[in-house]
Structure 1
Amino acid sequence: MEKMRGATGPVLWVLVFAFGILFMLQDTDVFSVLQAGPRSMGEVDGRPITQNEYNERLNQFTENYTRQTGNPPSIEQRATFEEMVWDQLVVERALEGEMERLGINVTDREVVDAILGDNPDPIIRQLFGRPDGSIDRATLRALIDQPETQADWILIEDQIRENRRQQKLNQFMQSSVMVTNREIERDFIQTNTRASVSFVRFPYSDISDSEIEVSDSELRAWHRDNSKQFERERTWNFRYVSFSKAATAQDTARALEEIAVFRNDFATTTNDSMFVEMNFTTTPFTSEMVDREDVPSAFSVLLDMETGDVSEPLIRGSEVALVKKTGAEGDQISFAVLSRVIAADRTITRQQANAEDFREFARLDGFETEAEQQGYTISEATATKGAPFIPGIGESRVTLRALERLSRNQISPVIELDDKFIVLIVDRVTDAGVRPLADVRQQVENAVRTEKRRDIMMQRIREQYGSADSLEEIAEQSQRSVQTASGVRMNSTTISGAGREPGVVGAIFGSELDALAGPIRGENAAFFLVVTEREDADLAELTSAERERIRTRLTQQKTRTFTEQLVERLQEQVRIRDFRQQLMM
């Protein structure tokens, strides 16, 4: 105690000095700078992705979805749109850098020509075009000269410049995917050259496990040599407790009571279409007659109702409904439906509160302890970065996003999904890399066994039948049948009766006619074969129309491949900084 009292003086002076420094820093506004954090959603090689453009693009996605479906996007759908917008903007920024590197730019002279030249940009045609296709150049020049329109013209010029840059990039990409006449002719030949073949097939599955020995050194070697097959992104193992948002029996009973209020008015109205629309039905009105047998089973009460009658409240899936019989002719009837989704608002509010309570007490008493005390079921799951499907939960980018912010043994905030709330605890985080042999041992062993089966089968049939003179002799000695396949195309990957065998198809078109070939190592079996007939394609039959169809198809294939490779290369080369998690905290 005496030591504490003796140290009080120096401590007070330190505190006074520290608070003085804090007040000085506060006056310089340094804290607002430190707390401001990132000012953009991210950067690609220093080029910012602003919050405004991110939000504008996201709003376009959500508004289009709402316009097309009549409903706002769900939580998971919105998360999907957010990832799509981010990916688009990253690619656009990367392409901007690539265009600069390639010298693809638009000069001021080009912009002026696009506005005032003989071939104006579509924007100018849209704004100043006449019905006869000409441009109202007098109005165009008059607006250019008005000072109050300068801000608008800057926006127009920027858009025209961007359009021209995109055109130049497209031209560059098209020049990189040019399809030659030789490629067209080769595609025509591969598509139209056919062969008929007879073969004897020796499935690798005929080699039993007892004939194969696999050592640990062989497993390690195969795992090392094929490590790319076992690369994975960052992975989380976690446990979670879920709180369902599904409507309860009480929610359903309340919805039935609420819709029952409309029954009398529905029966007396003379304008059924206006009535259901004004009362926000989820089932569009139709006056069409339907066959009695086509009436939905949930509305089967209509079959015994009189025209003008309205049913008691009904349950149809996640909705409650009243149905009114509006007409009957022979074996057909018409009806109107007033339906409402069973609202689970109270259940959702209660379950969210339950999830919040569980989360707080789990942090104090332990995740497993609190779950056991409350009688909640704990589920286990594994999630991998970039793979939104999570077994047990379904497709959930929202969960992946939450996991990105968590460390081992950390409990998440309450995570709201489309159909439930979840609270999770992370048990293990595995960084990206090659999965260890222990995790994929069975997969590696199966692959090694398959290779050994192939080796054993190839050696066995080479020794036993390598000196045979015909397929019939091989079939007789091996007690197998000779199979046939006709019309095998050169560009095919499958053989009728043998399955997917691209290597064997290649061997067919590399073999001499009527000559025994083999043994040939296939995907699923080894083969001896004889090509009995071959029909070579005739380039004289390649019409100009067919040539253009092939050119278009090959160009589309090349463009798709080139674009995917370009985007992948750009994303690998650029430095991407993602601030979204920080801005959302």
Structure 2
Amino acid sequence: MSIIQNIRDKAAWLVFGVIALSLLGFLLMDAFVGKSGRGLLGGNETTLGSVNGNKIEYIEYQKKVQQYENQYQQQGYPMNEAMRQNIQEQVWNQFVEENVLNAEYKKLGITVTPKELDDMLFGANPPQDIRQQFSDAQGNYDANAAKAAIANLRKQKDNAMAQNFSEVYLPALVDSRMREKYASLLGNTYYVPKWMAEKTIADNSQLAAVNFVAVPYSTVSDSAAEVKVSDADIEAYISKHKEEYKQEASRGISYVAFSAAPTAADTNALRTTLDNLRADFAAAPDPAAFLVRNNSELTFYDGYVVKSKLQVPNADTIRNLADGVVYGPYLDSRNIVIAKMIGKRTLADSVKCRHILISNQAVPDSIAEKRIDSIQAAIKGGADFAALALKYSDDQGSKDKGGEYSFSSQQFGTLAKEFAEFIFYGTTGEKKVVKTSFGYHYIEILNQKNFEQAYKVAYLSRAIIPSTETENAASGLANQFAGESRNQKAFDETVAKNKLTKLIATEIKPNDIMIPGLGSSRQLVRWINDAKIGEVSEPVNIEDKYVVAVLTEINAAGTMSVAKARPQVEFIIRNQKKAEQIRKKIGTAATLDAIATATQQTVQHTDSIKFSAPFIPNIGQEPKVIGAAFNKANQAKISVPIAGNGGVYVIQSTNVSAMADGGVNPDEQRNAQMQQMRQMSGFRSVESLRKGATVKDERAKIL
């Protein structure tokens, strides 16, 4: 929403505030987290799931999703399927966290009273968006003005903005304060004694020098029988590490895609169509109406664009067109375009102006006109412009700044047409009364800078889309393939016979909209949710292709299967087995020289192992080796073989010393440690609450 639009709607700050505050809960949540062919409601079901027995209803959930979608769109975010899926997940997570946290708030007696809410809005530290709107040029917050504006907004029961304020903004503000209190309560339970800080400083200043033998895992062949990894090995490993190998419910498919993208013939047909409109476009007296009549993708922008900002294909050619002359058709991304030069003029790229607005929304037009005439006369008589703006202007966005605004030429189209034309087409120092849909403005042009040649161009643009023939051809091939592939065996045979490309998509969750590598299709995800292994879908149209899929895997929520875990686990187990083989090579060797001989390696030395560093120079990250280097027992004799990340190590420390600690203050150290713990407290508590909660997510049955 532009600044001039704010003139009309003095409460428009809420459009920005609502999303800022409603997303604050998500931001705090992030701080904590660190880290189907159905009817609308799926028959009689209206419950999307539950948290600890508390139901999450479809209507309530969908209402919040819609609110956030609207707010994102008002902020200029594209509402594509990826964004929509992200919002749905955010809203679901918000419901889950609200449920688990509200129970904790109740136990702990955490509340926000009406008096506290008033203090949050009108006290010394109001939300930033409200402070910005109701502060003067010196940054002083006018709580009374904020109270009046909010009181007026609350009276407008049927106003969508008022509903957003009551149903989204205020609840989000309250929720953020509750989370703040909860996080503070938990955070202040952490304590680090001074002795611990002193020990941390001392440990971090230690240096070790060691002699060692490193036997890389690569010295044992992956193909050796002794290091083969069986399914039983993987099953045993993941059973000991269940928390690390948990998975959500998901499914996987193989699929074949038949392109329905526009062909060269489709592009040429569109080019011919537009070519036939060239003469009519050139002769059209009203370019805006012509573009509407001829279904242009681009509407007419009735303004001038300076040379440096005219960034379109063939810009040099278009700039050189005479008035009324057309150029094209030419290709612009996925569109075919004809450009028509409407006019040229010199234009400032930036303008500074000031104005006083007398709105005709609350008073009759005749009264508004008389008031602006009086203001004009007063200023001509020597009255101070800024003082009159502060006293009389109805533009809340500029009255405290003397009525001043600065605009770039790119904002021309966002301003009221009469206002924009005067400040950009007029001259510096010029003053004038201008009427717009907002009321009467008395405007003075203060400065115009960076003059350039500017161009007004109309673009007849149409997207290149597939013809009916192209669509039918792709659909026909997909239907033929689906008909010949009614099970997985037939699917694979038909792929091979027709030399088609079979692709895969995995980790498809029940509530997903986006399918990796394919695009958005809730329709296909619903089919995937209900299908059985080996079942083949009917053709599904996804973006510019027709897709036939076969369900290949079903992964239940819980511990990963052996097949699913193998890519992540196999190398770990193999290295464990290699470590055992290397230990056997070392045998009973009692010196580093003997071990080096037994393993065909060399004795190495390093004197710069730092207790505080995560890696060893020329070796890499080996935390077990670093820990052993500072073990006093390994100074008198060699260590036992240590299975590290890259191999097996045997070390002997030759010296442990300390470097200067750089004057680290123990009190500062303990405060930093406590601060770090406090920052993590919210994350740990909410994660714990979520793990302990009984969450049933049944959105896939309805959405």
Mapped to 1, the partners of 2:181 and 2:99 lie a distance apart of 19
Question: Of 625, 635, 647, which aligns to 1:525?
Answer: 647
Output the amino acid matched with 1:249: A
Mapped to 2, the partners of 1:511 and 1:397 lie a distance apart of 62
| Aligned residue in 2 for 1:180 | 191
Mapped to 1, the partners of 2:686 and 2:473 lie a distance apart of 42
**Structure 1 residue 507: Cα displacement:** 1.5
Question: Of 70, 73, 82, which aligns to 2:79?
Answer: 73
Mapped to 2, the partners of 1:324 and 1:237 lie a distance apart of 51
Matched, 1:213 2:220: no
| Aligned residue in 2 for 1:457 | 582
Mapped to 1, the partners of 2:168 and 2:332 lie a distance apart of 54
- 1:63-120 CA-to-partner distances (Å, cap 9, x unmatched) read 45545666x43334423332332232232233223333444345xxx32464489959
The 5 A counterparts of 1:132-531 are: 133=141, 136=144, 163-164=173-174, 166-178=176-188, 179-182=190-193, 193-195=206-208, 197-208=210-221, 212-213=225-226, 220=232, 223-227=235-239, 228=242, 232-257=247-272, 279=299, 287-288=307-308, 307-308=320-321, 312-315=328-331, 317-320=333-336, 342-344=463-465, 346=467, 350=471, 354=475, 358=479, 362=483, 377=500, 379=502, 381=504, 383-386=506-509, 393=518, 399-408=524-533, 412=537, 415-426=540-551, 429=554, 431-434=556-559, 437=562, 447-461=572-586, 463-464=588-589, 466-468=590-592, 480-485=601-606, 487-511=608-632, 517-518=638-639, 519-529=641-651, 530=653
1:190, 1:489 within 8 Å by CA — same for their partners in 2?
Answer: no
Mapped to 2, the partners of 1:411 and 1:113 lie a distance apart of 59
Of residues 500-509 and 314-323 in structure 1, the stretch that sits farther from structure 2 once superposed is: 314-323
Which blocks of at least 5 consecutive residues in structure 1 are unaligned?
Answer: 1-33, 328-332
**Structure 1 residue 498: Cα displacement:** 1.4
Question: Of 55, 62, 68, which aligns to 2:62?
Answer: 55
Mapped to 2, the partners of 1:341 and 1:198 lie a distance apart of 73
Tell me how large the CA RMSD over aligned residues is.
5.9
**Structure 1 residue 197: Cα displacement:** 4.5
Alpha-carbon distance change, 85 to 531 in structure 1, aligned in 2, over 3 angstroms = farther
Output the amino acid matched with 2:235: H
Alpha-carbon distance change, 44 to 434 in structure 1, aligned in 2, over 3 angstroms = closer
1:260, 1:312 within 8 Å by CA — same for their partners in 2?
Answer: yes
The 5 A counterparts of 1:565-576 are: 565-566=687-688, 568-569=690-691, 572-576=692-696
Matched, 1:87 2:98: no
- 1:99-157 CA-to-partner distances (Å, cap 9, x unmatched) read 33444345xxx32464489959948x9599897657549988x979x9999x989x869
| Aligned residue in 2 for 1:18 | none
Identity %: 21
Mapped to 1, the partners of 2:104 and 2:553 lie a distance apart of 39
- Look up the SS of the partner of 2:549 in the other structure: strand
1:222, 1:448 within 8 Å by CA — same for their partners in 2?
Answer: yes
Aligned residues: 518
- 1:425-446 CA-to-partner distances (Å, cap 9, x unmatched) read 4356454455555776787765
2:227, 2:574 within 8 Å by CA — same for their partners in 1?
Answer: yes
- 1:386-426 CA-to-partner distances (Å, cap 9, x unmatched) read 49786764787774444223345655465454453424343
- Look up the SS of the partner of 2:307 in the other structure: coil
Which blocks of at least 5 consecutive residues in structure 2 are unaligned?
Answer: 1-40, 346-452
Output the amino acid matched with 1:248: T
Mapped to 2, the partners of 1:344 and 1:251 lie a distance apart of 7
**Structure 1 residue 230: Cα displacement:** 5.7
Mapped to 1, the partners of 2:64 and 2:477 lie a distance apart of 33
1:248, 1:347 within 8 Å by CA — same for their partners in 2?
Answer: no
Output the amino acid matched with 1:78: R
| Aligned residue in 2 for 1:538 | 661
| Aligned residue in 2 for 1:43 | 50
Output the amino acid matched with 1:167: R
Q: Which structure shows the bigger proportion of residues in helix conformation?
A: 1
The 5 A counterparts of 1:105-124 are: 105-106=111-112, 110-112=113-115, 114-115=117-118, 122=126
Output the amino acid matched with 2:664: E
**Structure 1 residue 175: Cα displacement:** 3.0
Mapped to 2, the partners of 1:492 and 1:49 lie a distance apart of 48
Mapped to 2, the partners of 1:483 and 1:340 lie a distance apart of 70
- Look up the SS of the partner of 1:383 in the other structure: strand
Output the amino acid matched with 1:454: A
1:198, 1:531 within 8 Å by CA — same for their partners in 2?
Answer: yes
- Look up the SS of the partner of 2:613 in the other structure: coil
**Structure 1 residue 454: Cα displacement:** 0.6
Alpha-carbon distance change, 357 to 448 in structure 1, aligned in 2, over 3 angstroms = closer
**Structure 1 residue 504: Cα displacement:** 1.0
Alpha-carbon distance change, 480 to 532 in structure 1, aligned in 2, over 3 angstroms = farther
1:199, 1:528 within 8 Å by CA — same for their partners in 2?
Answer: yes
| Aligned residue in 1 for 2:375 | none
2:261, 2:466 within 8 Å by CA — same for their partners in 1?
Answer: no
| Aligned residue in 1 for 2:432 | none
Mapped to 2, the partners of 1:334 and 1:543 lie a distance apart of 64
